Structure 1
């Protein structure tokens, strides 16, 4: 007998009708190379394309199921939108000229390519009404690349000399499976111990859980913990954490504590920071952007969301709840507060309907292209350059994020702002060719080996600095909080929602429900209590 094959599979998946293309995985911060099988602007199969890492998780294989829109969207009048926004900004500039508290147009962004991010940065320099805010609320430590990237100590060539690893508030199996594979391979070779400070994890190999309180890290520095001897006698210890640790108020003393714990040395720097998404490193390498705070809700006349989903943003939900409870007062002189939603889908339409006539009065959705509808560039968590190529053309009315931002920039260049008279005559780059703009932003904001047109694609990985700078100013005292580092419910598929596609994938949603029901009894207990009442 032959192999049993579903009729649906035989009717749809015919290999000779596919067009193969190369892309990257947007669901994690490594940007693993993918080989995609495309037919009629639809992605049917995703496979790993890198011979050194022939592995791909279910999230990386099935994220594209949530990319494509099931229902057709309404057409957008682009010309009318830019005319209305230009008139609004012109009016607000006149109003700010006569008021003490100026109103701002706040751009909130996430998951941006380097081209769009640099265009936003030029837009902020040209227009004083615009403020750039990142969505995640954590303190940036971006003086050196080693403070927000994975160093060379996590590579296979240098990981074999280490005998001890410490995980602080991170789950590499979920947040960076390539790193978890390297740690697993190092453990199977022997003479390697992995300590975990945080929630109990299943990394497919044994680990030693130290607890979930930040005070344990303090006891390691004081030398009173039972594992202090292991850290002291270890060869080239490495420490891996993520950006969520820097959301704490006592994260400033994190590096100082590691110096006393002998994880940092003059000849070895084992600190590694794992980023949550593919664009986080590019944001930190350009500038130190402020997070969205309650002060931004006091004086504003519009919010401009770029690749932001309010349903998955805990910081934004908290601020909106505080606004609705009138924790901080808002100036009510403005009657028309606009919400611009520049996303692949209208993710924030339901949130706007909930807070209509309270926080916003008008809503505009600007459809942007999908992840594979444009050639974009990113920095991954290792500091390497990752590029995407244009493979599909699914949405006809949509435009790329770089095109929309550049059109916004062109409108501001044609306006004369009263509060920005000093910068009105500055010379700025204004090119309609995205390839020339890529060369410009790299010569402007990034260190290169040689000044050629191909320097952008030949940049080497940044090596971390081993010597720490001398601090002449005495630091203020920071109190260490003996609290849990992070309280979360592990969800391998839809846990933190750093990408915009997994939440809309029906396959990943069903996998998430099955995983939660099979790995925890929390939902069973709640259901039993409800049935008992």
Structure 2
């Protein structure tokens, strides 16, 4: 008698038919190494491939379910797009010479690799009409690596020295499960207290919730809170927050307040910033890019979105609604504005139809490659360099983000700008292909010993510089608002997600519905 198997099992793939490959997890800011099982340009299995972190969440295992969806869009006419964008740029350059308010082409990006980010930066330097903007509306300080990264204190050997930790408006179980595992291991060894300022969370180990008001941080610095005695007697205390805190208008005084506690010292910097995606630390390490605001949408002749989903970004939802209500409309806006959507799926076409003939006239969709369809480089929230290898070739008409940006960069070099002639005299790197571009000496401004093809990757880790107490000028006063911090909806799968894959995964959507119906009152 044969084995009793399902009838549908005969159509399933066997294990020996898989091709093994290595990748990283893009659903959080750590980029944990993965072992992927691939067959016919499809990912069927994702497993952890890191000795130090032999753990992977359901979101990291099932994110690829939303990647492989065939789109019904028409084939892209690449030559027509590059010709039209070049002619429009040349016309606007002459028009700006006669107008008082200059028009610009705004590049808004999210989840981009270091190669694409550096090419965008070179494009900005070569053409004065281009402005680079982030999508998320926060302004953190990036003077030192410790201002936007998790410091080396969160590593397992050094976290054992700490006896107290404070979570400020962050959920490490959702945002960075690697950090949550380290905190759990430290708690199980004993002699460790963890306080939480924010919503009540289930981190799989007990925590002490102090409240959700930002005024608690001020009371800790003044020494009037009951927890101040624990902080003063603790050894090497640390505080962990995320980039969501810097969306507040009073976030500038955050580090200034902590100077009065024993968290920030000359020999011990216990401040840790947890990023929301894997590309955010690389963006902060290159330059300080401003967020996209309503003032930017006043005078422009084109919006160029790179890996941006307008329906999943709260900042873009607000700006779109203001334009629909004619609140931010400007009389000097250009009538022939274009909307360029460069992403894996044309998900922003619905927004364009709402703003058609009001804010935009033409729409271009540029299909870009999927994740793992190109070799890309990232810097995670710990300062480690993470790389992906090309494992798939799913979309034939698509191109990489670096190739599309490089073509625009090549067209801008062939134009003679009338308004700003110094752009034609700038010395820039002649990037022929991606391999030679990685040898660029100013690539992320790292110091190298030799100019070889592997010189950039010899830096295994970017160690944060410990901030010392340096006397400076008197800073301006910032009003502290007595408002509550952002409340977290404990949806582990989709809510407040920053990756572009989980929203399209049918498995994660069903898991999200089940969790909301069983654990929360939100539907």
What's the TM-score once normalised by structure 2's chain length? 0.97
Aligned twin of 1:422: 422
Deviation digits for residues 412-432 of structure 1 (CA, Å, limit 9, x no counterpart): 000011122012111211222
1:32 maps onto 2:32 in alignment = yes
In structure 1, C-alpha distance between the alignment counterparts of 2:261 and 2:167, rounded to whole Å: 14
Partner of 2:49: 49
Partner Cα distance (2:289, 2:333) in 1: 28
Question: 1:242, 1:401 → 2: CA distance?
Answer: 28
Query: How far does the alpha carbon of each residue in 1:233-256 deviate from its partner, in whole angstroms, 9 at most, with x for none?
Result: 001111110011111111111111
Other-structure match for 2:343: 343
Cα distance between partner residues in 2 of 1:28 and 1:145: 19
Cα distance in 1 for partners of 2:53, 2:301 equals: 48
Q: Which secondary structure state, in structure 2, belongs to the residue aligned with residue 485 of structure 1?
A: coil
Residues 225 and 136 of structure 1, relative CA distance in 2, 3 Å threshold: same
Aligned to 2:357: 357
1:248 alignment counterpart: 248
Q: Secondary structure at the match of 1:240?
A: strand
- The SS at the match of 2:167 is strand
- 1:145-224 to structure 2, matched below 5 A, reads 145-224=145-224
Task: Tell me what 1:528 maps to.
Answer: none
Q: Are 1:464 and 2:495 an aligned pair?
A: no
SS at match of 2:320: helix
Compared with structure 1, are the counterparts of its residues 448 and 484 closer, same or farther at alpha carbon in structure 2 (3 Å cutoff)? farther
**Larger CA deviation: 253-262 vs 127-136:** 253-262
Structure 1 residue 329: deviation in Å? 3.6
Please report the RMSD computed on the Cα atoms of aligned residues, expressed in angstroms.
1.6
Once the two structures are superposed, residues 116-173 of structure 1 have per-residue CA deviations (whole angstroms, 9 ceiling, x without a partner) of: 0000000000111111000011112100001100111110010111111110111000
Q: CA deviation at 1:3?
A: 8.5
SS of residue matched to 1:290: coil
Name the residue aligned to 1:283: 283
Q: 1:298 to 1:40 in 2, by over 3 A?
A: same
In structure 2, do the counterparts of structure 1 residues 80 and 416 end up closer, same or farther at CA, with 3 Å as the change threshold?
same
Indicate conservation of the 8 Å contact 1:443/1:451, yes or no.
Answer: no
CA deviation after TM superposition for structure 1 residue 42, in Å: 0.5
Question: Separation in 1 of the partners of 2:265 and 2:435?
Answer: 42
Give 2:98's aligned residue.
98
- In structure 2, what is the Cα distance between the partners aligned to 1:111 and 1:298? 25
| CA spacing shift, 1:3–1:494, aligned 2, 3 Å | farther
Q: Name the counterpart of 2:259.
A: 259
Report the alpha carbon displacement of residue 8 of structure 1 after superposing the two structures with TM.
Answer: 3.3
**Contact 1:168–1:240 at 8 Å: present in 2 too?**
yes
Give SS of 2:216's match.
helix
Matched, 1:86 2:83: no
> Contact 1:299–1:331 at 8 Å: present in 2 too?
no
Give the Å deviation of 1:203.
0.4
Structure 2 counterpart SS, 1:393 = coil
Partner of 1:526: none
SS at match of 2:131: strand
Kept in 2: contact 1:449–1:459 (CA 8 A): no
* Equivalent residue number for residue 371 of structure 2: 371
- Stretch moving more, 107-116 or 413-422: 413-422
* Deviation readout 1:260-306 (Å, 9 max, x if unpaired): 12111121111110000010001000000010011111100110000
Tell whether the 8 Å contact from 1:269 to 1:464 is kept in structure 2 after alignment.
no
* Residue of structure 2 in register with 1:381 after alignment: 381
C-alpha distance in structure 1 between counterparts of 2:432 and 2:466, whole Å: 42
In structure 2, the gaps of 5 or more residues are none
Q: In the TM superposition, what is the alpha-carbon distance from 1:179 to its structure 2 partner?
A: 0.5
* d(CA) in 1 for partners of 2:322, 2:337: 18
Q: Distance in 2 between matches of 1:501 and 1:421?
A: 43
- Cα 1:517–1:79 shift into 2, 3 Å: same
- Write the distance in 1 (CA, Å) between the matches of 2:483 and 2:3: 56
1:436 positional shift: 1.4
Count how many residue pairs are aligned between Structure 1 and Structure 2: 523
Q: Distance in 1 between matches of 2:110 and 2:99?
A: 32
Within 2, Cα distance between the matches of 1:79 and 1:421?
27
**Closer/same/farther in 2, CA of residues 334 and 188 from structure 1, 3 Å limit:** same
Partner residue of 1:75?
75
Shift of residue 386, structure 1, vs aligned partner = 0.3
1:481 matches 2:473: no
Cα pair distance change 1:264/1:94, threshold 3 Å: same
Distance 1:2 1:163, change over 3 A: farther
> Using a 3 Å threshold, how does the CA distance of structure 1 residues 416 and 92 change in structure 2: closer, same or farther?
same
CA contact (8 A) 1:118 1:441 kept: no
Q: Could you say what secondary structure the match of 1:107 adopts?
A: strand
- How far does residue 441 in structure 1 lie from its aligned partner after superposition? 5.3
Cα distance change of structure 1 residues 443 and 322 upon mapping to structure 2, 3 Å threshold? closer
Relative to structure 1, is the Cα distance of residues 42 and 129 closer, same or farther in structure 2, using a 3 angstrom cutoff? same
1:138–1:3: structure 2 CA closer, same or farther, 3 Å change rule? farther
Deviations 1:14-73 (A, max 9, x none): 011110100000000000000000000011000001122110000000000111123443
Q: Does structure 2 conserve the Cα–Cα contact (< 8 Å) formed by 1:442 and 1:456?
A: no
Normalised by the size of structure 1, how large is the TM-score?
0.95
CA deviation vs aligned residue, 1:100-131 (integer Å, no higher than 9, x gap): 10111100000000000000000000111111
In structure 1, list runs of 5 or more residues that go unmatched: 524-533
Determine the C-alpha separation between the residues in 2 that align with 1:521 and 1:467.
43
**Range that drifts further, 247-256 or 440-449:** 440-449
